[in-house]
Each structure stands twice: as C-alpha cells, then as structure tokens.
Amino acid sequence: MTRLRRSDPTRPGYSRRRAGTGFSYRDPAGQKVTEKQLRQRFTELAIPPAWTDVWISPHPNGHIQAIGLDAAGRRQYIYHPAWREQKDRLKFERALELAASLPRVRGQVTRDLRGDSEPRARALAAAFRMLDLASLRIGSERYADDYGSHGLSTLLCSHVSVRGDVVRLDFPAKSGQQFQGVITDADLATYLRARLRERPAAPLLSWVVDGEENALSAADINSFIKERTGGEFSAKDFRTLRGTAAAAQSLAQSLAQNLRAAAGMTTHEDEASSDAGTKSGSAGSRAKASTAGSGTKSGTAGKGARDGAAGAGTKPSTTATATGVGAVPAASASRQPRAASRNRRADTRAIAEAMRQAAAVLGNTPAIARTSYVDPRIVDLFRAGETIDPAGRVSAETALRTLVLGDDV
C-alpha cells in the first residue's frame, strides 16, 4: 500500500508550459525537465490540455498530484489514486451511516412541514425533503450568477410548479443540462404552493420578515443536515446513497430475470430428457431446477421516496421522478443462489444497465455514476450472486445496509 504524504501547494513544485503542439515542464528552480522518468510521470497524470497555471507535486506520493485552472477559471485538482481510494471508501461508509439516520429524520421533517414552525424552519424542512426525494445538487450562488446553473439552494419560484400533490421541477442544472423532475409528496406540495404565490424571480426557499427577504444558502442546508442527522453529512452524501440505491435495485431486477430465464431453460431441458428416456425405455432420474432465493441478507433501493428518482440522465435533459415518504413499499434483502447459466457477458450487461439507472437518478453520465457515486461493493456482491429482493417490505435504507454490511446493522 502506498504511503502518502500531504502535499503543500504553497511550496514550489513542477510547472507546465506550452511548447509548440505539446508541453514542456520546469522544475522548482525553473530548469527544463529532461529526465525520462519524470516526464513519464507527468504524462500519466493526464492533466487536461486546457488547464493553465499548473502546479505539479514534487513528490510522487503526494496526496495532491496536480492543480490547475480550467477553461472557466475554476481551480481543479488531481489526487493520488491511493488517496482517492481511501476517500471513496470513507464516502461510501458515510452514505450507509446516513441511511441509518433517515427514517428518524424524515418524521421530524414531516412535523416541521405540517406544523406552525417559524418560516426558516419550514424552508429547511422543505429543502431536506427535496434533497431526500430528488437527489438534487446543493447549488451555489456563484454558479447561478456566473453560469446560470442552479441547484437546491438557488432554485427560483419560476423553476417549480405544483398541481395537487405533484411538484414539478424544471431548471438549468450543472454542465448545461436541463433538469426536469417530478416529486409526489403532499406535505412538500402544500408548502411550495404557498411559496409560488410570490414573484417568479423570488428564491424558492426563502421567506419575508418585516418586509425583508431572507433565503437559505447551501451552508444553511448542510448545517441543517448535520444538526438533524447527528453526523458529518452533506448534500453530496444523499447523492451517493441514491446512486448506490438505484444501482442496487437495477442489479436485483437483472439477477431475478437471469434466474427466471435459467429456471425456464433447465425445466425445458429436463422435460426433453425425460421424454427421451421414456421412449428408449431406459431408467433415469428427472432433474429438477430450483431458483428460489434463500434467507434475508441483502439491501435495497426500491422505487419511490426512499430511493430518489428515475429518468434519462445521460442526455442534455434530465428527468427524475420521486414519490413521497412512505408511499411505496420498500425493498428487502435476500441472498439468491448463483445460477449455473449466468455468464460474464450477462453480468457485464446488467452492471452497465445499473450504472445507467444510477446516472438517470443523479443526472450524470454512467461513467461518472460508477466512478463517483455507486458503492463498488454492491457490484462485487452481484457478481457473487447476492442482491436485494425488490419485492420486499423493509425500508430501502435497512435493506441496502444489510446487503453491504451484513445481518447485524
């Protein structure tokens, strides 16, 4: 295992300069780097050509390997693979910890939405409910001002419409995508309907006191999440949980289909063998196929409130659907036997479909969903023949935790 050291970007490092159609590199003393091994290291970092003001760590085991400004002037980082692996492992553990707290917090949020809480408390409750159901990015004022892209904290009244218990979202999101989502939740709809009486350009999650408009910020929402859950969670952890849950649900459906197909093939072969044996007069034994899952071991990502949304996240327009808390039975966990007829190609197709489903929920590409949001352990478990049972009745959070962590959660 690589022993990492903390990088200090304020200290001198290697730099990159444009040279013809390529680049040259300079050491901390400003001398051109000619050593083949060093240049190979810089090439393998795959620093985007558009980056400027590039700083490269002088240490190959530094936790930050390179920093630069992208074409939009935003500071970007390239981390050591071992550092990313460590942070990713902690990220997925944190998402499962968040899952354990959600059933309790949801009840508190419902009471805040229904009660006569002060305006700020109700706005925070609405923010939590939308984050929980729609897997929204948190957003920032800077991105809204500079790029016209919005997230939860910067939504305007004009981005939302309400009809009955259905809340429709339609707004420009990150990377030029148009997010179009549907949330079905009576309490949220009641709150937002009152908000929409304000002017269209008003912030959605805002309130007026003594004639002065106040609006929630991303920091306010993240602080509320930490306060209510009792953990160091943020809006990003909801997206990790939802992406993993959506992929787990898809893998469960794929495995169930494969097992049903295997059962049909085996039964057909058995009948054919029996007929042949009868005609020849030879004694034989009739093979029997079983595809029943055993025990309760695994975890979930059922459709509805507990599992985020469904849509087409790989296109410029992202469509998501979510259902209110408790409205749909959740999934439980089960361990299913590995079918002999399953093969690597079928598994590959199932995993690819799972990443497409996760991407649809998150509004990302399947590649980003796989590398950044879906816990790789559910893929490993799927390959071993373990998934959730999508027809179960325990909460999505409990089932997903059981799948990954085992029976004692």
pLDDT tens by residue, 27-58: 999 999 999 999 999 999 999 999 999 999 99
- Cα–Cα distances in angstroms (integers) from residue 400 to residues 2, 95, 296, 304, 347, in the given order: 31, 10, 12, 15, 20
Tell me the whole-structure pTM to 2 decimals. Answer: 0.71
Indicate the range of 162-171, 187-196, 278-287, 312-321 predicted with least confidence.
278-287
- The CATH architecture assigned to 101-234 reads Alpha-Beta Complex (3.90)
Kindly state the percentage of the chain with pLDDT values over 90: 59
Q: With 80 as the cut, is the pLDDT of residue 260 above it?
A: no
Q: Which of 77, 57, 82, 52 is nearest to 67 (CA)?
A: 77
* Contact (Cβ atoms closer than 8 angstroms) between residue 182 and residue 135: no
The span from the CA of 142 to the CA of 159, in Å, is: 18
Residue 385 has, within 13 A of its CA and on its CB side, a CA count of 14
Q: How far apart are CA 262 and CA 275, in angstroms?
A: 20
Mean pLDDT of 280-286: 45
Instruction: State the chain's mean pLDDT as an integer.
Output: 83
Structure tokens at 206: 């805002």
Q: Cα(7)–Cα(5) distance, rounded to whole angstroms?
A: 6
| CB-CB contact of 321 with 313 (8 Å) | no
Q: Please give the Cα distance from 115 to 228 (Å, whole number).
A: 17
Burial (CB count within 10 angstroms: exposed 0-12, middle 13-18, buried 19+), residue 342: middle
When pLDDT is averaged across residues 212-220 and rounded to a whole number, the result is 94
Integer Cα distance of 355 and 373 in angstroms: 10
Domain ranges, ordered by start, for the chain: 14-79, 101-234, 236-269+293-405
Tokens 């999650």 found at: 205
Q: Which of the pair, 82 or 155, is modelled with greater confidence?
A: 155
Sign, Cα dihedral of 323, 326, 327, 328: positive
In the numeric block, which tokens belong to residue 17?
């300069």
Does the domain at 14-79 match CATH 3.30.66.10? Answer given as yes
Select the more confidently predicted residue: 183 or 301. 183
Cβ–Cβ < 8 Å for 368, 325: no
Q: Which pLDDT tens digit goes with each residue over 78-124?
A: 999 988 888 888 899 999 999 999 999 999 999 999 988 899 999 99
pLDDT given for residue 392 in this prediction: 62
Report CA-CA distances (Å) from 243 to 171, 232, 306, 353: 21, 19, 12, 13
The label of the residue with tokens 């489903």 reads 357
Q: Is the pLDDT of residue 74 over 80?
A: yes
**Residue in 308, 134, 106, 306 with CA at minimum distance from that of residue 204:** 134
* CA 118 to centroid of chain Cα atoms: 32
318 in Cβ contact with 179 (< 8 Å): yes
Q: Which pairing describes strands 178-184 and 317-323: parallel, antiparallel, or unpaired?
A: parallel
Lookup: tokens for 257: 């289909």
